[in-house]
Structure 1
Amino acid sequence: MEAFRPRPIEALLTGRARPIGAPGAVEVLSGIGKQARQGALWLALDGLEGDEQGDRVYHGGPEKALHHYAAEHYPQWRDWYPGSPVPYAAGAFGENISTHGISERDVHVGDVFRVGETLVQVSQGRQPCFRVNLRFGRPDAALALQSSGHTGWYYRVLREGWLAAGDVFELVDRTCPDWPLARAIAAMFPIDPGAPGLRDEWLRASQLAPLVPRWRTTFERRLASGQIEDWHLRLNGPPV
């Protein structure tokens, strides 16, 4: 197993579903605004105690029980988009877990971690949606998050239990050593749709058993059609 340096949770965060959007515009419910919590919280199969999502069709649930974001990405966002109405700090992108030293390049598809009393498994990267635009007041924020590859990632819960800031991520199992999450994210959101070898990446990704079924199905559909699906609605929201 490739070496992995254990890292502690620096902030454990939850949020209630609240309306977001510009004053006078169409508002949507979202739990993207997270606040750090003190003490231990119960992590169940479908998510963290006290955490909510505004749209349970596309957010939350067993395959997206816990969202992790690398805190070291935030200085880059402050450089790219200064003057944000939301500070670029832990919780800004709706994450439940904030750490330093664990990024999309460090975790792999299907990695199993022991943290606190729980066991969690990397299930997929994040697919940013238009709620990110509403949160930061920028029409291109979701696209920028997707294009950066710094999307964060989700866990499924293999063992429920108590979780708290200070608990340490310890790697228990790595079944896909050739698939850092950054590779899967690059296959899902290719910068160059015509890049040589991209279809081979889709084929290999579609065969990764620990990868969330929705991602595997997407890769299979691309292989069959030869086309990438339209991201406009997800990234920009419904027409107003």
Structure 2
Amino acid sequence: MKIVSTNIGGKKEVLWKKKKVITGIYKYPTQNPIFLDVEEVKGDEISDRKYHGGVDQAVYAYSLKHYEYWKPKYPNLDWNFGMFGENLTIDSMDETKIHVGDTFKVGDSIIEATLQRSPCFKLGIRFNDISIVKQFWNTTKCGVYFKVLQTGIVKVGDEFQQLKSYPENPTIADLLIKRKKEKAV
């Protein structure tokens, strides 16, 4: 697997249901390397630290192959990497095959898979269509949050190399399915 895009964004204020909302979901590709730090990607906006950032959600990654699934559903969007709020766009990441605790070397960093992305209304804001949230919940194309075990620089073209696998642990897709069931109760 390889990094096809590194993405960061700034703070953006949007109007949602007649209320001002601050968000960092508007991420765009950067030509510069990014630095994966212990609690965040340096230079990237995290507006809601209750649900984003921190040790277990320092980096969010999404798969390029998932873009091909979503593009036909939203053909009028101006598509660019970072659309899902991800810091790393990886060519062929699969949440049904990545387990909690799996570790990867990418650039100078070592990162560990921790959590699924549970979408909120801000994804609907980014897509200008709230129905994306329910559609997202109904797939396993959730992306992966990572803990940074070794800080470092990552750039486009870097290999995303698995170092350790923990097949006895649930997959990231399993976590999403479990979370969806909990929300339904």
Instruction: Compute the TM-score of the two structures, normalised by the length of structure 1.
Output: 0.71
For residues 58 and 177 of structure 1, the distance between their equivalents in structure 2, rounded to whole angstroms, comes to 26
For residues 169 and 40 of structure 1, the distance between their equivalents in structure 2, rounded to whole angstroms, comes to 15
Alignment partner of 1:71 is 2:70: no
Per-residue deviation, 1:96:
0.4
Give the structure with the larger helix fraction. Answer: 1
For residue 203 of structure 1, what is the aligned residue in structure 2?
Answer: none
5+ residue gaps, structure 2:
none
Alignment partner of 1:17 is 2:11: yes
For residues 38 and 140 of structure 1, the distance between their equivalents in structure 2, rounded to whole angstroms, comes to 32
For residues 29 and 45 of structure 2, the distance between their equivalents in structure 1, rounded to whole angstroms, comes to 14
Aligned length: 185
For residue 51 of structure 2, what is the aligned residue in structure 1?
Answer: 58
Contact map agreement 1:71 1:89 (CA 8 A) in 2: no
Alignment partner of 1:92 is 2:121: no
Determine what percentage of the aligned residue pairs are the same residue. Answer: 28
| Aligned partner (choices 134, 150, 156) of residue 143 of structure 1 | 134
Q: Matches of residues 147-186 of structure 1 in structure 2 within 5 Å?
A: 147-177=138-168, 179-186=170-177
Larger RCO (CA within 8 A; separation ≥ 6): 2
Per-residue deviation, 1:189:
1.8
Per-residue deviation, 1:177:
4.5
Q: Matches of residues 74-223 of structure 1 in structure 2 within 5 Å?
A: 74-84=67-77, 87-177=78-168, 179-190=170-181
For residue 40 of structure 1, what is the aligned residue in structure 2?
Answer: 33
5+ residue gaps, structure 1:
1-6, 191-227, 232-240
Contact map agreement 1:74 1:89 (CA 8 A) in 2: no
Contact map agreement 1:111 1:173 (CA 8 A) in 2: yes
Residue type at the aligned position of 2:9: G
Per-residue deviation, 1:183:
2.3
Root-mean-square deviation over aligned CA pairs? 1.9
Instruction: Compute the TM-score of the two structures, normalised by the length of structure 2.
Output: 0.91
For residues 142 and 92 of structure 1, the distance between their equivalents in structure 2, rounded to whole angstroms, comes to 13
Q: Secondary structure at the match of 1:21?
A: strand
Q: Secondary structure at the match of 1:48?
A: coil
